[in-house]
Amino acid sequence: MKKKEGFTGQNSVNLPGSLLQELAKDADFNKLYLTDIGFYPNAVHHFRERKEGCAEYVLIFCVAGKGWFHVNQEKKKVEAGQFFILPPDRLHGYGSLNSDPWTIYWVHFTGKRAEQFSISDNELLQSTMLNENDKRITLFEEIIQLLGTGLSSENLSYAMFCLGHLLAMFKYNRIYVRGQSMVPNDVCDQAIAFMQNKVYQKVKLEEIAKAVRLSPSHFSSVFKKRTQRAPMEYFIFLKIQKSCHLLDTSNLRIKEISSSLGFDDPYYFSRLFSKVMLLSPVAYRKKRKG
């Protein structure tokens, strides 16, 4: 027996077609909005097959049990702590494993900005950190409960702002996981942690690469692909960021700040600071902030 819905304890909200037409035309909503959202616990015999796909992106977050999905017939297994985002208008299917049915949170979303939250085909299935007080589960529950109380303009506005935050935590899963863990989880995170610990010192590219056990050239390539900045440029940004903090919170002279951050020449430091901040250190300190 295959079931699309009707699971014990399920909770879902489907926006009416007439309302979706209004949202699609409304400049305040049409950039990003959900069409359906829900929670299916222990979804025994859950199964969906869409030969022509659907008009929206589909995000499914497995929080317990197991399931599967396919896009263009390439089938992948899904376990607790994994999620996938299906693109629109593509043949796809998904369902729970009979021997260990999944529990999932899911949402269909669309809009002019929806594509920004898509994931490339070779990364559709991703693993993430799942804990007892997961922020994404809390946000799913909040949106579902809110829309369940009514579809007023105020409720919709709040829910759609929450949707953007929710999708960002999946799209930028690596950043979300990093924020939940004290241990850097990949080479670039390890390198940035190393830079932060050495921000008051002089450090060469070779030292950073050695710390993450890569050659300087390979490390530079990996780091720039991830951050869009060369490692030493990123390190300079961290130093300038720290100098801003010192300018804001201390009475240290600019020469002293420069020296504390490993710059021998305060004039060189000032030029770097001005290039990054578009203000001299003196002008920055005078600027009203907060």
pLDDT digits (tens, 9 = 90+) for 110-152: 999 999 999 988 889 999 988 878 999 999 999 999 999 999 9
Q: Show which of 161, 179, 197 is a domain's final residue.
A: 179
List phi, psi (to 5°) of 142: -65, -45
pLDDT digits (tens, 9 = 90+) for 241-272: 999 999 988 999 999 999 999 999 999 999 99
The reply to whether 33 and 138 lie within a common domain is yes
Q: Is the pLDDT of residue 182 over 70?
A: no
CATH number at residue 256: 1.10.10.60
Q: 């921000």: which residue's tokens?
A: 199
pLDDT for position 207: 94
pLDDT digits (tens, 9 = 90+) for 7-24: 889 999 999 999 999 999
| C-alpha to C-alpha distance for 108 and 260, rounded to whole angstroms | 51
- Residues in CB range of 217: below 8 A, 6 or more apart: none
CB atoms within 10 A of CB 221: 12
Nearest to 185 by CA among 197, 198, 175, 172: 175
- 181 versus 24: which is more confidently predicted? 24
- 140 versus 193: which is more confidently predicted? 140
pLDDT for position 23: 94
Q: 């692909």: which residue's tokens?
A: 225
Q: Is the pLDDT of residue 4 over 90?
A: no
The reply to whether 151 and 135 lie within a common domain is yes
Q: Show which of 112, 145, 179 is a domain's final residue.
A: 179
Q: What is the pTM of this model?
A: 0.73
Strands of the sheet with 33-40, listed across from one edge: 11-14, 33-40, 103-110, 57-64, 82-86, 125-127
The reply to whether 163 and 39 lie within a common domain is yes
- Residues in CB range of 269: below 8 A, 6 or more apart: 243, 254, 257, 258, 261, 263, 281
> Does residue 4 sit within a domain?
no
Q: Show which of 179, 195, 226 is a domain's final residue.
A: 179
The reply to whether 196 and 269 lie within a common domain is yes
Q: Which of 93-107, 148-162, 172-186, 195-209 has the lowest mean pLDDT?
A: 172-186
> Is residue 47 within a helix (H) or strand (E), and if so which, with residue range?
strand 47-50
pLDDT for position 252: 93
| C-alpha to C-alpha distance for 288 and 60, rounded to whole angstroms | 45
Range of the domain at 196: 187-286
* Domain count along the chain: 2
| C-alpha to C-alpha distance for 37 and 1, rounded to whole angstroms | 24
Q: Is the pLDDT of residue 92 over 70?
A: yes
Average pLDDT across the chain, whole number: 91
Written as six digits, the tokens of 266 are 């305060």
> Does residue 265 sit within a domain?
yes
> Does residue 2 sit within a domain?
no
Task: Please compute the mean of the pLDDT values over residues 147-174 and round it to a whole number.
Answer: 94
From its phi and psi, is residue 289 left (phi > 0), alpha (psi between -120 and 50) or beta? beta
pLDDT for position 7: 85
The reply to whether 169 and 199 lie within a common domain is no
